Amino acid sequence: MGENKRRMLAGDWYIADDDELAEDTRRRIALCAAFNDETASGPERRKVLEELLGSVGEDVGIRPPFHCDYGSYISIGARTFINFNAVFLDAAPITVGADCQFGPNIQLLTPNHELDTERRRAGWENAAPITIGDNVWLGGGVIVCPGVTIGENTVVGAGSVVTRDLPAGVLALGSPARVVREL
């Protein structure tokens, strides 16, 4: 593994446009294209997911199209359902628990971009992991930002932007998402 990729996975600043990462990107492009192919059968898609993702539990359902940065840093627990148009940017690990339900147009975004204009122009970024507990429901259009953990049995309302950790067993709404009550 090259130094740039090591920095990326450690959460340090790295250059996103790197030859080693480009090779991983080409792999992901081919696998996502196969998964998103409208003529692919359920068993064919399952086989692609097993090759694309770091781990995928039993009876996971993902409706295409599905997009990710690398795929290999994503783990999805058993019986989780992910609706159309999910985007998982996995420059850091994304861990999704079992029995989760995700509405359409979900975005799980691990990268952070440099605020300094020169460094941003040069392509520097870092990433922080996202962890989603068991039995979490994310309504349509939810965006989860870098470094966020969402506790088990939590519900996040449609269109919410989750910028900080949410505890287990709550309903959170808004942008930024705020806990409105316990469940």
Active site residues: 113
Here the tokens at position 165 are: 């950790």
- In the chain, what are the helix, strand and coil shares in percent, each to the nearest 5? 25, 30, 45
Distance separating alpha carbons of residues 88 and 79, to the nearest angstrom: 18
CA-wise closest residue to 105 among 140, 135, 149: 140
CA-wise closest residue to 166 among 107, 158, 182: 182
Using DSSP, how many helices (H) and how many strands (E) does the chain show? 4, 20
Distance separating alpha carbons of residues 151 and 177, to the nearest angstrom: 14
Give the residue ranges of DSSP H helices in 11-163: 19-36, 42-52, 117-121
